[in-house]
């Protein structure tokens, strides 16, 4: 099958190559994980916690090297990569402490004679599928709780950013994790291998972060063997600026919510609904901030916006912007891709966007902010809820009561009220 080549998105250079696992190799890895589970599940919770804690210590000590590795395969700026490593390490620390707190329950039966005991047991082999946008944090967020609970793990890393996954696996091995408990697999394309794993009868848990389309497909594949699934799917978050908002604070929040990780975050703001009364002020200040971002190599000190992860992602973002302009939007800044070999795209603000435009209906996953003018915030709630989303929303208003009412009306799991960062 050949190897998978990992290319630096800033300059097109070859960073490394990793093995492209076949379907048979992935199933064999699952069998190894199943065998390892019989021993790992019996490991003392304290021992599992100590391994995770040691992994945390190693990640903190090697933060700079890990951050540079992330930049080389993902493209994000070095400051974002450093922040990701710190964030990722915290999952190991958190779950090192939770490993010894797996609780149960004891209740008296309704007949008053019997007692009902509930215990929590490790489910078995967990298949963890991670995206390319946070290759360290999404790995530790999934692997940490699985190992703490006593499960063994197959970590299916994104083919664009597998080096970080292998580095984390190496850290865990150095921390004392036994062979077979965590294995990284990198099948490309992954479809057949993942389907084989979900229908093998070996995998008992699936954790997936990615698109709604792929998540729906995986749910159907997992259904045959009733594989327990946890998923974080598409974001497409609305960012709502009310007529009574603190505009400077809203612009600060917009820069965080939109441009963290270059816009490639599940929690990224993708649709900006701005009240007519504050539209001009918000837009002019936002455009000024976005225009100041410098696209370049994530390792350069002058760079404030790294390239997109691949040529395919650059092309996708370019197409979304071009279509929005064709549909009637106006680009106030940006709207241009860097020349090859860099996969960059300038920070872009679009005005005159309408709810039906394709860029509103799809998650951008890039540095593009479409602004939609609204006359009445409360009457526009159907617009805020009117696309496929569900992860997070952002609201800016000086009226706390109004903010809480809007938060309850929004159909998302998280709401950032006068905050541009929720996770």
SS3 192: helix
Q: What is the pLDDT along the chain (423 residues), one digit of tens a residue?
A: 689 999 999 999 999 999 999 999 999 999 999 999 999 999 999 999 999 999 999 999 999 999 999 999 999 999 999 999 999 999 999 999 999 999 999 999 999 999 999 999 999 999 999 999 999 999 999 999 999 999 999 999 999 999 999 999 999 999 999 999 999 999 999 999 999 999 999 999 999 999 999 999 999 999 999 999 999 998 899 999 999 999 999 999 999 999 999 999 999 999 999 999 999 999 999 999 999 999 999 999 999 999 999 999 999 999 999 999 999 999 999 999 999 999 999 999 999 999 999 999 999 999 999 999 999 999 999 999 999 888 999 999 999 999 999 999 999 999 999 999 998
| Integer Cα distance of 347 and 332 in angstroms | 10
CB contact at 8 A, 333 and 291 = yes
Q: Provide CB contacts within 8 A for 256, sequence distance 6+.
A: 420, 421
Contact 335, 319 (CB under 8 A): no
SS3 of residue 347 by DSSP: coil
Measure the CA–CA gap between 32 and 111, rounded to whole angstroms.
46
Contact 389, 224 (CB under 8 A): no
Closest CA to 72 of 167, 1, 143, 142: 167
Instruction: Count CB atoms within 10 A of the CB of residue 39.
Output: 12
Residue 156 vs residues 48, 65, 216, 292, 297: alpha-carbon distances, Å: 22, 22, 18, 37, 27
Q: Is 2 exposed, middle or buried (0-12, 13-18, 19+ CB in 10 A)?
A: exposed
Determine if residue 180 is left, alpha or beta; phi over 0 gives left, psi from -120 to 50 gives alpha, anything else beta.
Answer: left
Domains parsed from the chain with CATH numbers: 3-232 (3.40.605.10), 237-417 (3.40.309.10)
CA distance 159 to 16: 12
Residues designated as active site: 232, 266
CA distance linking residue 164 with residue 188, whole number of Å: 17
Q: Which run of H or E residues covers position 243?
A: none
């Amino acid at each position: 099958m050949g190897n998978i080549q990992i290319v630096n998105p800033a300059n097109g250079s070859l960073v490394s190559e990793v093995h492209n696992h076949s379907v048979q190799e992935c199933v064999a890895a699952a069998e190894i994980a199943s065998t390892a589970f019989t021993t790992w599940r019996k490991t003392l919770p304290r021992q599992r916690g100590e391994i995770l804690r040691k992994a945390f210590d190693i990640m903190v000590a090697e933060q700079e090297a890990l951050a540079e590795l992330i930049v080389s395969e993902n493209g994000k700026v070095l400051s974002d990569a450093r922040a990701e490593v710190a964030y990722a390490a915290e999952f190991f620390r958190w779950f090192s402490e939770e490993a010894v707190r797996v609780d149960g329950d004891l209740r008296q039966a309704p007949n008053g004679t019997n007692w009902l005991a509930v215990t929590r047991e490790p489910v078995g082999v967990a298949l963890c599928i991670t995206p390319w946008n946070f290759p360290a944090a999404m790995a530790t967020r999934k692997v940490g709780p699985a190992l703490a609970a006593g499960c063994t793990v197959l970590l299916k890393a994104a083919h664009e950013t597998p080096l970080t996954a292998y580095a984390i696996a190496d850290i865990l091995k150095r921390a004392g994790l036994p062979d077979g408990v965590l294995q990284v697999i990198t099948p490309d394309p992954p479809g057949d291998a993942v389907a084989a794993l979900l229908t093998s009868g070996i995998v008992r848990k699936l954790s997936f972060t990615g698109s709604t389309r792929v998540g729906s497909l995986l749910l159907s594949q997992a259904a045959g063997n009733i594989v327990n699934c946890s998923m974080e799917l598409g974001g497409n978050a609305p960012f709502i600026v009310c007529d009574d908002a603190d505009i400077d604070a809203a612009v600060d929040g917009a820069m965080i919510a939109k441009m963290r990780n270059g816009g490639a975050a599940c929690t990224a703001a993708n649709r900006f609904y701005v009240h007519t009364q504050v539209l001009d002020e918000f837009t002019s200040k936002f455009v000024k901030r976005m225009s100041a971002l410098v696209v370049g190599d994530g390792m350069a000190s002058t760079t404030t916006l790294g390239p997109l992860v691949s040529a395919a992602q650059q092309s996708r973002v370019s197409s979304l912007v071009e279509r929005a302009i064709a549909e009637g939007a106006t680009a106030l800044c940006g709207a241009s891709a860097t020349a090859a070999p860099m996969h960059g795209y300038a920070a872009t603000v679009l005005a005159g966007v309408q709810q039906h435009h394709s860029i509103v209906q799809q998650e951008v996953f890039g540095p593009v902010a479409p602004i939609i003018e609204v006359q009445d915030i409360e009457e526009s709630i159907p617009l805020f809820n009117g696309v496929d989303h569900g992860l997070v929303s952002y609201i800016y208003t000086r009226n706390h009561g109004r903010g809480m009412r809007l938060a309850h009306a929004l159909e998302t799991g998280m709401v950032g009220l006068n905050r541009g960062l929720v996770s």
